């Protein structure tokens, strides 16, 4: 089984792709929008990644979810299962290929700080960035059961660097 996308070398267009999508989705989360951050591997210059732009949307509260889901559907997104309590998830595929993932969390949700801290660590530490890239490429090469296996096998490395998520 394959991942949602094949890992590729860093693409200097990823930041512009993030900015374009940030602008496109921002209205969906108004008036509760606090900020939209570029997270995940495509947010780290020089890091190989699945070419899927990750956006972290911070909102004051989750409300009008039916209207938000409808608006996101009109933009080509599908609501996935919540990744944790208060962590909503959307994905966008074009012609069967995953292109964007949107994580929506309320201000103060533990995942906001965690995603930003890991992104910033990868941006600032070339040794950690290279180790993480090597791990991702190894996991892609040995993957048998798809994205869930890939994520589960990355988790111990990430947790060792920034601590485990709350229980």
Dihedral of the alpha carbons of 88, 162, 54, 155, in degrees to the nearest 10: -80
Report yes or no: 74 and 40 within 8 Å, Cβ to Cβ: no
- Total-model pTM: 0.93
Check if CATH label 3.30.460.10 holds for domain 14-162: yes
The predicted structure's pLDDT at residue 3: 66
Distances in Å between the Cα of 65 and the Cα atoms of 19, 36, 89, 99 are: 24, 18, 12, 23
Q: By the 8 A CB rule, do 36 and 26 touch?
A: yes
Per-residue pLDDT at 9: 96
CB atoms within 10 A of CB 45: 12
- The domain spans of the chain are 14-162
Q: What is the pLDDT along the chain (167 residues), one digit of tens a residue?
A: 466 778 999 999 999 999 999 999 999 999 999 999 999 999 999 999 999 999 999 999 999 899 999 999 999 999 999 888 899 999 999 998 899 999 999 999 999 999 999 999 999 999 999 999 999 999 888 888 887 888 889 999 999 999 888 87
CA angle at 115 for the pair 110 and 119, rounded to the nearest 5°: 150
């Amino acid at each position: 089984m394959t991942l949602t996308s094949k890992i590729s070398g860093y693409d200097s267009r990823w930041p512009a792709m993030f900015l374009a999508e940030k602008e496109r989705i921002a209205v969906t989360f108004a008036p509760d929008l606090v900020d939209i951050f570029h997270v995940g591997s495509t947010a780290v210059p020089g890091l190989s990644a699945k070419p899927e732009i990750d956006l972290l949307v911070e909102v004051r509260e989750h409300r009008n979810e039916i209207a938000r889901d409808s608006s996101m559907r009109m933009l080509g997104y599908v609501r996935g299962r919540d990744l944790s309590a208060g962590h909503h998830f959307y994905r966008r595929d074009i012609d069967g290929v995953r292109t964007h993932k949107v994580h929506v969390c309320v201000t103060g949700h533990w995942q906001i700080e965690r995603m930003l801290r890991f992104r910033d660590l990868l941006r600032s530490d070339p040794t950690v960035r290279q180790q993480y890239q090597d791990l991702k490429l190894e996991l892609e090469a040995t993957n048998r059961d798809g994205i869930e296996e890939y994520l589960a096998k990355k988790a111990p490395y990430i947790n060792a660097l920034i601590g485990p998520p709350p229980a």
